[in-house]
């Protein structure tokens, strides 16, 4: 139990550090990633208004490994963002290491047409 609490505290500290540098605006919304043990969720957020513009998750995607599903979530997010006329974003990794599923989301979003 103590290790789980310690992990959450360390991730929370990293998340605060990242969020201190990353701010989403109307011109460049924030692409926020949340990674659970089974799924991955991505949101496009305008922090100046406090509004979520677009969201996507791997709940709709049934096949593939977790990394393959994360890549597809990134592509789906980029497609939805382009429909909303958003091309440039800032990437918020949410305190997670830029590796594995978080990296796959970023690569999928880049392939889908987002710039960051």
Residue 1 above 60 pLDDT? no
- Domain of residue 70 covers 2-112
Look up the CATH number of the domain holding residue 48: 3.30.420.100
Q: Which residue has the higher pLDDT, 79 or 9?
A: 79
Helix residue ranges per DSSP H, the chain: 2-21, 66-83, 101-112
Residue 9 above 80 pLDDT? no
In whole angstroms, give the CA distance from residue 99 to residue 54.
23
Instruction: Domain count for the chain, please give it.
Output: 1
Residue 2 above 60 pLDDT? no
Residue 87 above 90 pLDDT? yes
Output the pLDDT for position 5.
61
Sorting pLDDT into bands at 50, 70 and 90, what band is 16?
confident
For the chain, what is the mean pLDDT?
Answer: 89
Q: Which residue has the higher pLDDT, 11 or 106?
A: 106
Query: 91-108: per-residue pLDDT in tens?
Result: 998 889 999 999 999 999
Which position has the token pair 């949410």? 94
Percentage of the chain surpassing pLDDT 70? 93
Give the strands of the sheet with 40-46, arranged side by side.
51-57, 40-46, 30-35, 90-92
Output the pLDDT for position 86.
93
């Amino acid at each position: 139990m103590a290790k789980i609490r310690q992990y959450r505290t360390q991730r929370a500290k990293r998340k605060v550090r990242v969020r201190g540098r990353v701010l989403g605006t109307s011109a460049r919304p924030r692409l926020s990633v949340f990674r659970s043990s089974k799924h991955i969720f991505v949101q496009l957020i305008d922090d100046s208004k406090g509004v979520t513009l677009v969201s996507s998750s791997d709940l709709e995607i049934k096949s593939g490994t977790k990394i393959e599903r994360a890549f597809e979530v990134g592509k789906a997010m980029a497609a939805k963002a382009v429909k909303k006329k958003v091309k440039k974003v800032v990437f918020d990794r949410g305190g997670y290491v830029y590796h594995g599923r978080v990296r796959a989301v970023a690569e999928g979003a880049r392939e889908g047409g987002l710039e960051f």
